[in-house]
Amino acid sequence: MKLVVIIPCYNEEKTLPLVLKTIPRRIKGVRKIQKIVVNDGSTDNTPQIANRYHVFLVSHKSNKGLGAAFRTGVAKALEIGADIVVNIDGDMQFNPLDIPKLAQPILRGEADVVTATRYKKYLDYNLKGRGIKNFGNKAFTWLINRLTKRKFTDVSCGFRAYSKEALFKLTIFGHFTYTHEVFLDLIHKGLTIKEVPVRVRPKRQFGESKISRNLVDYGYSALKIIFRSFRDHRPLYFFARPGIYIFILGLLFDAVFVIGYIEVLRTTPFRTYGLIGSFLNIFGLILFLIGILADMIGRVKDVQEEILYQIKKSHWKRQ
């Protein structure tokens, strides 16, 4: 069993050495541990430092974002034969000594993905000084739980372990971030995600987060990714259900128009109700039909992703 640790980095020269030195050399049930540093267009000495530690180094020519760095790291991990992949940030906010905690549920066959959570234990330490970021994380957790009908406590944490099978099945598109998209995609595909509480440094020791330093941009980008992912995975819920509600609302306006006409035998002053009702009926029907069509396309997409999964599985087995 080979475990590969992915470390996406953007200008992490001050903390990367400590992350690399702290990663455990032995984990029960794991035969070999390897490390991949994904240099996401750093302008400091991050790549030079990675080379000193004799790890696999993959570099982007420019800063493409955490989601793109994660996908690059996963591709390299599968290329070198990973059975379990752990993703950890290069800023030392997460403790690499917790990697075995995340790997064990996968090794025992209890989960396909294990994600660290900051909101189950160690709250006095984990929440200190994070202010509005805690509110934002809880808001996104509430939204993902509503969409997936699960009860997670932290969906924004990037410190996670993935089985090889989970990575074969995973299809994500976000460049800026990817953490929420993973939940929606893998739960849609029936995989099991388990949370493990960890102790997390509330603030970076050096610099600031490249992802959440502008909370408005982060919120907008994350919501956009969630919106698109939910649209693709649940088109009936996204389109058809609102279409039915709008059509029913239109019927209420239609009823006022019809009842009024019956009583006074003329369209005025009820004509506006009839026009609004007709508009809502047509709009609702269009949304409903879009939902049906999108659901049909979604079934084709599911078949294509299953084919892609089989291709990935076959390809990496030959490596």
Residues 6+ apart with CB under 8 A from 192: 110, 111, 112, 113
Same domain, 134 and 215: yes
Q: Identify any residues that bridge with 91 across adjacent strands, giving them in sequence order.
A: none
Same domain, 130 and 256: no
What is the chain's mean pLDDT, rounded? 90
Please compute the mean of the pLDDT values over residues 221-241 and round it to a whole number: 90
- Whether the pLDDT of residue 262 is over 80: the answer is yes
- Whether the pLDDT of residue 19 is over 90: the answer is yes
* Beta sheet of 193-197, edge-to-edge order: 56-60, 32-40, 2-9, 84-87, 160-163, 113-117, 193-197
Same domain, 58 and 189: yes
**What is the pLDDT confidence band of residue 111, given thresholds at 50, 70 and 90?**
very high
**What is the pLDDT confidence band of residue 72, given thresholds at 50, 70 and 90?**
very high
Same domain, 220 and 280: no
Please compute the mean of the pLDDT values over residues 95-99 and round it to a whole number: 96
Please compute the mean of the pLDDT values over residues 61-82 and round it to a whole number: 93
> Parallel, antiparallel, or unpaired for β 2-9 and 160-163?
unpaired
Between 282 and 65, the more confident residue is: 282
User: What's the number of domains the chain is made of?
Assistant: 2
Same domain, 33 and 148: yes
What's the CA gap between 86 and 70, in Å, rounded?
A: 11
- What pTM, to 2 d.p., does this model score? 0.84
Q: Do residues 221 and 180 touch, judged by C-beta distance below 8 A?
A: no
**What is the per-residue pLDDT for 209?**
59
Same domain, 194 and 251: no
- Among 203, 233, 263, the domain-final residue is 233
Handedness of CA 62, 66, 68, 71 (dihedral sign): positive
Same domain, 290 and 225: no
Give the domain CATH number at 175. 3.90.550.10
Same domain, 31 and 162: yes
Same domain, 11 and 75: yes
Which structure tokens are listed for 13?
A: 């020269």
Same domain, 219 and 250: no
- Among 233, 255, 276, the domain-final residue is 233
Between 214 and 276, the more confident residue is: 276
What's the CA gap between 304 and 122, in Å, rounded?
A: 43
Choose the weakest-confidence range: 99-103, 120-124, 169-173, 218-222: 120-124
Which structure tokens are listed for 67?
A: 């989601």
Residue range(s) defining the domain that contains residue 167: 2-233
**What is the pLDDT confidence band of residue 286, given thresholds at 50, 70 and 90?**
very high
Q: Which of 32, 29, 34 is nearest to 54 (CA)?
A: 34
pLDDT digits (tens, 9 = 90+) for 116-169: 999 888 776 677 666 677 788 899 999 999 999 999 999 999 999 999 999 999
**What is the per-residue pLDDT for 210?**
57
Same domain, 229 and 240: no
